[in-house]
Chain A
């Protein structure tokens, strides 16, 4: 009977790096957007809408990537759209981490875990497509 091994390879470090960089980059954009918003006096003028009214889209709510892109292209720029890019980046980070792990498993000839990573990735894509279909 074999003793448990420490399965700690380059894949773990790479996935950890992606999670950290993706998380921090997302956070930096969220903070940047909030910073611009505060500099434009947003925190003084804005009355935060905490209740969701059907059909209404209060400032700070984006329901598609197109709306986020429009907010970034607008002049003056919509600072909350900058934060929204950070949020989208944060949402994509776990998927990107698995996408990065997949070729690492293949390179290490660990086809079993490469297949598992591919299965996880395809399920994430299916759910993204479902979200797109919802819109």
Chain B
């Protein structure tokens, strides 16, 4: 494939990944890595390097806008990212010590349960009563934003902060050990355990994934996994797409975002169970 055609094709693919990533709070790796490896024949190491840059580009493009509009919660994001990064560093050290196949199976079943709870919550637009979680009040894990779709002011406070923090640490450990992104887990923990509005969960996840990716980007760089000619069109496309995504989500219902998120959870659950059984989709 000529370099010009490759760059243009990757640019437009990344544009789409950026839109989806910004809306769903994922870095786009879940979409980009399979596309780059299967359709464009890119080496898995270069694809993962491109994915880590795409996460940072999505985060920079989307979180800048979400923080201004109040959809992304800086304090909740920073509080939870402590758990995720420390989990990821722990996971990186544990890698090779604990058998990964069992972990993949456990994770697959945990995600299947998450898919089930997501289906049960599909119709919930916003959490109804106000949380009285003491840690949430103490750490100011609350906020408000103007919902353009609902045409009203929405205020919220996190629940079950201990559960959310623990889940984030666990997600960090697993992502460090299994080399998978943890954007989806962050959204699930904020939406399901901490009961934040779905749009706040994905927007805050967008801010957090940039930080967790930045923590591992240096390692990918020094391994020589970041190929400028592959990463450049990805970064440009993803950032432009993320910017478009932030405008789309403003006019979406929380329930719509959750419906779009469901297939990602189902796919992740299935791929983890299959990996645990020794079947790799890629």
Binding site for B on A (CB under 8 A): 1-8, 11-13, 15-17, 19-20, 22-23, 26-27, 30-31, 33-34, 42-43, 46-48, 50-52, 57-64, 80, 83-84, 86-88, 90-95, 98, 101, 112-113, 116-117, 119-120, 123-124, 126-128, 130-132, 134-135
B67, A19: Cβ atoms closer than 8 Å:
yes
A17 to B231, CA, bound (A): 24
Which of B59, B70, B92, B231 touches A6 (beta carbons < 8 Å)? B70
B232 in the interface, Cβ–Cβ < 8 Å? yes
Chain A, Cβ-Cβ closest to B146: A6
Residue pairs across A and B with Cβ atoms less than 8 A apart, 26 shown, are A1-B132, A2-B137, A5-B155, A7-B140, A12-B67, A16-B63, A20-B64, A23-B57, A23-B64, A30-B235, A48-B3, A48-B229, A50-B42, A52-B46, A59-B229, A83-B232, A87-B53, A87-B226, A90-B53, A90-B57, A90-B235, A93-B56, A94-B59, A101-B78, A112-B140, A113-B75
Nearest CB in chain A to that of B52: its residue: A91
Q: How far is the CA of A116 from the CA of B86 in the complex (A)?
A: 12
A19 and B224 contact, Cβ closer than 8 Å, known pairs A50-B46, A94-B210: no
**Measured between C-beta atoms, what is the minimum distance from A38 to chain B in Å?**
9
Decide: A27 and B56 in contact? CB cutoff 8 A: no
B29–chain A nearest beta-carbon distance, Å: 15
Tell me the B28-87 residues at the A interface (CB within 8 Å). 40-43, 45-46, 53, 56-57, 59-61, 63-65, 67-68, 70, 73-75, 78-79, 81-82, 85-86
B positions within 8 Å CB-CB of A = 1-4, 6-7, 40-43, 45-46, 53, 56-57, 59-61, 63-65, 67-68, 70, 73-75, 78-79, 81-82, 85-86, 89, 92, 130, 132, 137-140, 142-145, 155-157, 210-211, 213-219, 221-232, 235-236, 239
Name the one of A30, A31, A60 contacting B227, with C-beta atoms under 8 angstroms: A60
B89 touches A60 (CB 8 A): no
Q: How far is the CA of A5 from the CA of B153 in the complex (A)?
A: 12
Query: What is the minimal beta-carbon distance from A112 to any residue of chain B, in angstroms?
Result: 6
Q: Is the interface of B mostly helix, strand, loop or mixed?
A: helix
**CB-based contact A119/B219 at 8 Å:** no
Known: A6-B144, A123-B82. A23 touches B61 (CB 8 A): yes
Residue from A19, A126, A128 in contact with B210 in the complex, judged by beta carbons closer than 8 Å: A19
Q: Which residues of A contact B7 (CB under 8 A)?
A: 34, 43
B3 touches A93 (CB 8 A): no
Say how far B177's CB is from chain A's closest CB, in angstroms. 15
